[in-house]
A and B are shown apart, each in its own frame.
Chain A
Amino acid sequence: MLTVSNLKKNFGPIQAVKDVSFTVEKGEVLGFLGPNGAGKSTTMRMITGFIPPTAGTATICGHDILTEPVAAKACIGYLPENAPSYHTMTVTDFLTFIGKVRGYTGQELKDQVESVIKKSRLETVRNQTIETLSKGYRQRTCFAQAILHDPPVLIMDEPTDGLDPNQKFVVREMIKEMAADKAIIVSTHILEEVDAVCTRVIVIADGEVVANATPAELRAQDPQGRLDVVFRNLTMTEGVSHV
């Protein structure tokens, strides 16, 4: 479904992403792990076509993001970091706008918006403007726009960041509900997330993939089976001074 091949990104002299390659198949939930600044968001922005890579490319459902950007973007649902949305619009208006741009019209547009409001549990706030909503609802509104067109590939950048435990639980439940028929990438630096939703994990540090394994395999690298120790060993090669 999604193939990432040799993605590189330089910002001036800084190499933010150095040669990242992986694939994600239907039914997989790939956890994208790494410390802050490791290049997670940059990689996701390149896959979704927001910023162009310095080298390499990503292929989504057979469409190259560089040569067929519109077709590739049509296959992706994307929840950017911090869940941006147009704050002066109501939830329904915002989702209707996204639906229109996604090519829906008439009754189909209405149905699609209704179904996504239900799926994202937004019924109670549907007529409120987004600026009046709590962070959890804003997150879910942005989540709703990402799944509105039932995309085969879903990419989420820290979908549970800043949410309270109940809200995190809801978001994870929604991800699990959709996991069966989609290829999903979830970036996070919260390790409990890995056990909660992921079927496979990629650990990225300093712009490079340092591990690509199932959560169980990753856990087996530490005698006590503690993920945080494994994570630290993988991403803190230069010792404590790095922190």
Chain B
Amino acid sequence: MCNVKNIKSIFEREFKSYFDSPVAYVFLVAFLVLIGFLTFGVAMFYERRQANLMPFFFWHPWVYLLLVPAATMGLWAEERRTGTIELLLTLPVTLAETLVAKFLAAWAFIGIALALTFPIVLTTAWLGNPDMGAIFCGYLGSLLLSGACVAIGVFASALSRSQVIGFVIALAICLFMLIIGFDPVINAVAGWGVPAGLVDAVASCSLMRHFDAMRRGVIDFHDIGYYVSVILFMLAAAHVVTDNRKAS
């Protein structure tokens, strides 16, 4: 159903458009500064004297929460505002191809930001003897988590012609999907007398719960399957929204 060549052409344009303005570089620097500050300044990476990246990966969901919506808010909103959506969707491509291309472009951009954190791996390897398998697993989990956030962002961006609304909606959905699996929240809810089974069932739907296992170095196909499902579901939702609201 999807023509790979079409996806590639649109992907290239989308991806390059990030670097058309200084915003991309500001974004990358903000990402690295924020994640560096949280890891070294707040989580006390050095003071722990442990050669693993647990305090580093711990912050990834919260950094994505803030920055992924910023990277995805323009994907559809900008096309709507400038009217290029009419150009794009009357080209001989399917809406699914366009959506996948936009999603992959934004994901690749976040992937670059993530890849640029490599010095922390080198630092850890120089200072101690970390488990490289666990680090790889953490990065894989982080990449999948960011993919889920990007897919949510694509969906949110399709809802409105305003980038701000796209940002806020993406942030709200991501926040919800994170905190339903965040331990302090789970403990608080359980304290209200909500049945443990229910709390656990809801928590197992969260972006956080599945990342927790991976950042500790455990790859389970359930977790990978979960992220793939979230991505596919959000893209399908974006397809429905875009199809129904093209002209508005």
Residue ranges of A at the interface with B (Cβ–Cβ < 8 Å): 45, 48-51, 69-71, 73-74, 76, 78, 80-82, 84-89, 97-98, 100-103, 142, 145
A101 touches B86 (CB 8 A): no
CB pair A70 B82 closer than 8 Å: no
- Set of chain B residues within 8 Å of A102, measured between Cβ atoms: 91-92
Q: Given A82-B83, A100-B9, is A48 in contact with B90 using a C-beta cutoff of 8 Å?
A: yes
Give me 12 A-to-B residue pairs in the complex whose CB atoms sit less than 8 angstroms apart, sorted by A's number: A48-B90, A69-B94, A70-B93, A70-B94, A73-B91, A74-B92, A76-B90, A86-B82, A88-B17, A97-B9, A101-B92, A103-B92
Name B78's closest neighbour in chain A (CB-CB): A86
Indicate the member of A88, A101, A142 with the most B CB atoms within 10 Å: A101
Apart from the given pairs A80-B90, A86-B84, 4 other A-B contacts in the complex at a CB distance below 8 Å: A51-B246, A74-B92, A78-B90, A97-B12
Question: In the complex, A103→B92 CA distance in Å?
Answer: 9
Which of chain A's residues has its CB closest to B91's CB? A101
- CB neighbours of B123 from chain A (8 A): none
Whether the pair A84, B90 counts as a contact (CB closer than 8 A) is no
Beta-carbon contact of B90 and A97 below 8 Å: no
Q: Could you tell me if B20 and A84 are in contact, using CB atoms closer than 8 angstroms?
A: no
Contact of A88 among B9, B21, B86, B89 (CB under 8 A): B21
Report the bound CA distance from A80 to B5 in whole Å: 25
A14 vs chain B, min Cβ distance (A) = 13
- From residue B22, how far is it (CB to closest CB) to chain A in Å? 12
Asked if A50 contacts B13 (CB within 8 A), the reply is no
Question: What is the CA–CA distance of A84 and B91 in the complex, to the nearest angstrom?
Answer: 13
Q: Does B247 contact A (CB under 8 A)?
A: yes
A-facing residues in B78-101 (Cβ within 8 Å): 82-84, 86-87, 89-94
